[in-house]
Amino acid sequence: MKRQDIKQIVILFLLILSFNACQNKNPLDVDISNIPARVDILRFDLDFYGQPPNHLPAIKQKYPFMFPSRVPDSIWVAKMQDSLLLDLKTEVDSVFPNLDTYKPQIASVFKHIKFYFPAFKEPKIITLYSDWNYLKKAVYADSLDLLTLDNFLGSNNRLYKGIPKYIRQNMTPQQIPVAIANSIIGTQVPPARSKTFLAKMINYGKKLYLLDAYLPQLPDSLKMGYTADKMAWAQQNEEDVWRYFIENELLYSTRSNLDLRFLNLAPYSKFYSEDDLQTPGYIGRYTGWQIVRSFMKKNKVSLQKLLQIPAEDIFKKSKYKPKK
């Protein structure tokens, strides 16, 4: 073989590799290197819990937004010295002596949001305790994001004894960026216009697609809050789940029990079969996510536009075909 022929083969091979790389590139893995993002974390938990009562006036001056005027000081003093909260403080302080490790991840979330929504202003992050309210991991309110550190101590923390495993498994430090992103996403995605099961699924799918955009390097299992085996089940049984929804005419149903079976936080989904315990919970959210992903692959629309498109239009234009 001539040297010129070899050279042409090598060039062709490199072109094929380059083409495949472009084909496999995540379109949401955008360049955020030139986008500024400031991460301000105020440790209210350190400044408040366990402090002597005479420090309360100074604390109120530093954090006026944390102290509603209708609540008397006696309530705050009691919380400062509450024995259960002081025990919690010991655990939080040991796990989170500082939050410097998480700042780059949080900054990345903010940068990605600003890439798609340039008017977005980074909120100040205020750390506090929720008294183990795992439904309130982070609460976003315009200029503030309240991050409840007692919800991220690690799935096997001694204080989580009695909390179901499917909840504890997501009470880990690595969920902090997810919680912050989700708190913001919750204000960006408007409620579903329809009460059908399909509309609710796709509404959750929009939220998960925003997680794709804001945390493009994050594994899907962490976005869904699934263990590896539950994630594998969702991927391997996607077609069977879809067939069940179709054959049982669930898509346009407005029965509220479908939320309990397939959308709400739960240890498993309820197909009323002997294999239910093997399934992941809220599988309808996963299905809605795949529908939205399919739509975005086939339609060139912005994230802002996606959030306004009705579920029925997304479904029709997604040409969703579940993986076998």
pLDDT digits (tens, 9 = 90+) for 228-279: 999 999 999 999 999 999 999 999 999 999 999 999 999 999 999 999 999 9
Phi/psi at 156 (5° precision): -105, 15
Least confident of 4-13, 25-34, 131-140, 183-192: 4-13
Q: What was the pLDDT predicted at 153?
A: 97
Q: What was the pLDDT predicted at 9?
A: 47
Q: Is 276 helix (H, G, I), strand (E, B) or coil?
A: helix
Q: Is 167 helix (H, G, I), strand (E, B) or coil?
A: helix
What mean pLDDT do residues 210-225 have? 97
What mean pLDDT do residues 185-208 have? 96
- Burial 138-150, CB ≥16 within 10 A → b, else e: bbbeeeebbbbbb
Percent composition of the chain: helix, strand, coil (DSSP 3-state, to 5):
55, 5, 40
Residue 7 pLDDT more than 60?
no
- Residue with the larger pLDDT of the pair 23 and 301: 301
Query: Rounded to whole angstroms, how far apart are CA atoms 291 and 197?
Result: 13
pLDDT band at 12 (very low <50, low <70, confident <90, very high): very low
Q: What was the pLDDT predicted at 22?
A: 42
Least confident of 6-15, 80-89, 131-140: 6-15
Q: What was the pLDDT predicted at 133?
A: 83
Tokens found for residue 200: 């609710």
Task: List the beta bridge partners of residue 125.
Answer: 41, 145
pLDDT band at 10 (very low <50, low <70, confident <90, very high): very low
- Burial 14-42, CB ≥16 within 10 A → b, else e: eeeeeeeeeeeeeebeeebeebebebebb
Residue 302 pLDDT more than 80?
yes
Tokens found for residue 78: 């009691």
Residue 324 pLDDT more than 90?
no
Q: What was the pLDDT predicted at 26?
A: 81
pLDDT band at 4 (very low <50, low <70, confident <90, very high): low
pLDDT band at 24 (very low <50, low <70, confident <90, very high): low
Give the pairing of strands 144-148 and 41-42.
unpaired
Q: What was the pLDDT predicted at 27?
A: 86
Query: Rounded to whole angstroms, how far apart are CA atoms 199 and 206?
Result: 11
Cα angle 261, 226, 122; round to 5: 105
Q: What was the pLDDT predicted at 323?
A: 77
Q: Where are the beta strands (DSSP E) in 41-135?
A: 41-42, 124-128
DSSP annotation of 140:
E
Query: Rounded to whole angstroms, how far apart are CA atoms 266 and 189?
Result: 22
What mean pLDDT do residues 176-183 have? 97
Q: What was the pLDDT predicted at 102?
A: 96
Q: What was the pLDDT predicted at 47?
A: 97
Report pLDDT digits (tens) over 88-139. Answer: 999 999 999 999 999 999 999 999 999 999 999 999 999 999 977 888 899 9
